[in-house]
């Protein structure tokens, strides 16, 4: 009868769920999106699991951020009582780097287009089936030119890896020989070859996107997803926001009308065009009057995690549930009558019914101390987490890749798949949790917080994060001002 906390399936669903009496039309539109999200739930390590990335990018503000306020459009299903987006160029805050680019090619809309330069450039988009030889021929060059280029420049071998969609531009000299070649690998990377007296000189051009800091805030009226969408946030950004607070807020049960969030994140621009969103830098979530704040910190090793402004980790050392999309079929009960043996036999864990093959995730970082068949437990994995904790996963159909005794696993890593091996009546995961050798109820045991910032690192942490938190506060202030005056600066 106890409420199921941190139920990840419900958590996902709740992001999209309307409160009762929601609009049907909106709900059905969301159904498609929900299937998509459910299908897109990643596996892999902890970070990947906690940060669902979707290729889907909802329409976002086309306006280049220049401290822009925008008022929400009054859509019929608008989930907001108030939404405000503010974006700002913030070079002081984040070391934004926009490198001068020595050569910028106009992007071609046609397959081959000329660029107004002296001498003439010819640009070709690599099509499927193209080879370097074919593209050189199109430019009026031949295999001997390719040979020359490859012979004189070691970097030319990168041209062997051309893929459709990339562009190659040529500049020929008066004799019809190759003078310059420009190979655009992707939006940010290109390679330039220029003929000199000593052969071709290669130059790598790596463009840095212009990082701008964006701010969005909303009050939830129907669902987190609707509120985020109306605030101009892409689905993956909404998911990331929810993931940051998922250890503190139960998104399945606890979200109420009037809850608010504020998020400050990176947007990446190239030549004034938005090419995507980056990381969330800081966020705030007010849930039923209780406000949680979180800030991103990158340590000396380059790993980024979220902390409270005082340096406590947002994560817990253990996931409450090691399987997504499961329902609890049997609770921890030390006086249970066994369904097969029909005798009183303690049920020392929680059973999660799920389809055969559903991934089972390590609930915390740890080491595999058992992986194999274990009597009535069937295929079983036992993990040791530090000194005090052990977790056990039973009735697995099969084991995760590379999972054997001695393997180190990360939180969220797939260690096996749901099955019904051993004494079992149907596909489910039997999960046990031990503290200092004593079996505990996995649903109610108090879970330790992940490591907070060490005192030696505290100064670094504060130096990096305090300006970010201050900026979040400033955004809040300025957005309140903007809402009051409804002005456009
Ligand atoms: Zn069980």
Q: Chunked in runs of 10, what are the mean pLDDT values of the chain (489 residues)?
A: 40 50 36 34 32 31 33 33 37 34 38 56 93 94 93 92 94 92 93 93 93 94 92 91 82 83 95 91 94 94 91 87 80 78 80 93 93 96 92 97 93 95 94 94 85 91 96 85 48
Residue 420 Cα to ligand 1 midpoint, Å, equals 11
Number of helices (H), then strands (E), belonging to the chain: the values are 8, 23
How distant is the alpha carbon of residue 158 from its chain centre? 30
Query: Quick one: which H or E segment has residue 455?
Result: none
Residue extent(s) of CATH 2.70.70.10 domains in the chain: 327-440
pTM for the whole structure: 0.52
pLDDT at position 253 is 65
Instruction: Tell me what pLDDT residue 1 has.
Output: 36
Find the helix packing angle between 235-245 and 8-16, rounded to 10°.
Answer: 140
| Rounded Cα gap, residues 226 and 220, in angstroms | 8
Determine the distance separating the centroid of ligand 1 and the alpha carbon of 330, expressed in angstroms: 7
Q: Write down the architecture of domain 112-206 according to CATH.
A: Roll (3.10)
Give the model's pLDDT for residue 359: 94
CATH number of 8-92+211-307: 3.10.450.350
CB 161 within 8 A of CB 131: no
Distance in Å, CA 348 to ligand 1 centroid: 7
| pLDDT score, position 311 | 94
Question: What is the distance in A from the centroid of ligand 1 to the CA of 408?
Answer: 25
Cα–Cα distance between 339 and 357 in angstroms, integer? 23
Distance in Å, CA 433 to ligand 1 centroid: 12
**Domain(s) of CATH 3.10.450.350: residues in the chain:** 8-92+211-307, 112-206
For 5, 214, 305, 467, the CA distances from 293, given in Å and listed in that order, are: 21, 17, 13, 14
How many A from CA of 157 to the centre of ligand 1?
Answer: 57
Q: Domain 327-440's class?
A: mainly beta
Q: Are the beta carbons of 404 and 445 closer than 8 angstroms? A: no
Ligand 1 mean position to 483 CA, how many Å? 54
pLDDT for 86: 39
pLDDT value, residue 5: 37
Centre of ligand 1 from the C-alpha of residue 349, in Å: 6
Assigned token pair, 307 = 């902390």
Residue 30: count of CB within 10 angstroms of its CB: 22
Ligand 1 centroid – CA 346 distance (Å): 9
CA of 396 to the centre of ligand 1 (A): 12
C-alpha distances in Å from residue 332, one per residue of 23, 300, 425: 39, 42, 17
Cis peptide before 119 (omega within 30 of 0): yes
How many Å apart are CA 328 and CA 123, to the nearest integer? 60
Q: How many CA atoms lie within 13 A of 416 on its CB side?
A: 33
Cα 392 to ligand 1 centroid, rounded to whole Å: 11
Helix axes 235-245 and 24-39, enclosed angle (nearest 10): 70
Q: How far is the CA of 485 from the centre of ligand 1 (A)?
A: 60
Specify the pLDDT at position 315.
Answer: 83
Q: 350 C-alpha to center of ligand 1: Å?
A: 6
Dist CA 141 CA 147 (whole Å) = 11
């Amino acid at each position: 009868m106890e409420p199921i906390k941190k139920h990840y399936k419900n958590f996902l669903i709740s992001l999209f769920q309307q409160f009762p009496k929601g609009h049907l039309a909106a709900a059905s539109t969301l159904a498609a999106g929900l299937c998509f999200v459910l299908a897109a739930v990643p596996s892999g390590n902890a970070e990947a699991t906690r940060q669902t990335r979707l290729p889907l990018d909802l329409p976002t503000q086309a306006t280049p951020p220049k401290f822009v306020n925008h008022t929400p459009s009054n859509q019929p299903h608008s989930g907001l009582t108030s939404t405000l987006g503010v974006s700002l160029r913030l070079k002081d805050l984040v070391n934004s780097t926009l490198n001068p680019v020595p050569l910028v090619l106009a992007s071609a809309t046609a397959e081959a287009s000329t660029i107004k330069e002296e001498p003439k450039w010819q640009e070709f988009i690599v099509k499927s089936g193209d080879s370097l030889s074919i593209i050189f021929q199109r430019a009026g060059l031949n295999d001997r030119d390719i040979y020359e280029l490859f012979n004189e420049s070691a970097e030319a071998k990168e041209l062997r890896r051309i893929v459709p969609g990339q562009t190659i531009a040529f500049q020929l000299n008066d004799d019809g020989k190759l003078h310059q070649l420009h190979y655009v690998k992707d939006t940010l990377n290109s390679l330039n070859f220029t003929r000199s007296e000593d052969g071709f000189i290669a130059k790598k051009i790596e463009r840095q996107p212009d990082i701008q800091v964006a701010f969005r805030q909303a009050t939830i009226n129907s669902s987190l997803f609707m509120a985020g969408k109306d605030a101009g946030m892409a689905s993956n950004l909404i998911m990331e926001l929810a993931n940051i607070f998922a250890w503190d807020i139960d998104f399945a049960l606890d979200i109420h009308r009037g809850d608010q969030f504020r998020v400050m994140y990176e947007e990446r621009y190239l030549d004034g065009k938005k090419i995507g969103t980056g990381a969330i830098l800081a966020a705030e979530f007010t849930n039923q009057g209780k406000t949680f704040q979180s800030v991103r910190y990158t340590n000396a090793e380059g790993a980024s995690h979220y902390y409270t402004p005082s340096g406590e980790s947002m994560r817990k050392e253990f996931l409450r549930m090691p399987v997504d999309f499961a329902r609890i079929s049997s609770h921890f009960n030390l006086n249970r009558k066994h369904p097969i043996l029909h005798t009183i036999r303690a049920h020392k864990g929680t059973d999660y019914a799920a389809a055969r093959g559903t991934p089972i995730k390590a609930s915390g970082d740890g080491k595999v101390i058992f992986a194999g068949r274990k009597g009535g437990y069937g295929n079983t994995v036992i993990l040791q987490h530090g000194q005090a904790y052990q977790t056990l996963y039973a009735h697995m159909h099969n084991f995760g890749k590379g999972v054997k005794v001695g393997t180190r696993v990360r939180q969220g890593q797939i260690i096996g798949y749901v099955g019904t091996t051993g004494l079992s009546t149907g596909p489910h995961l039997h999960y046990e949790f031990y503290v200092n050798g004593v079996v505990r109820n996995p649903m109610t045991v108090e879970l330790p917080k992940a490591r907070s910032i060490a005192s030696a690192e505290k100064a670094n942490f504060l130096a990096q994060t305090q300006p970010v938190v201050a900026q979040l506060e400033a955004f809040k202030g300025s957005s309140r001002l903007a809402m009051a005056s409804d002005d456009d600066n």
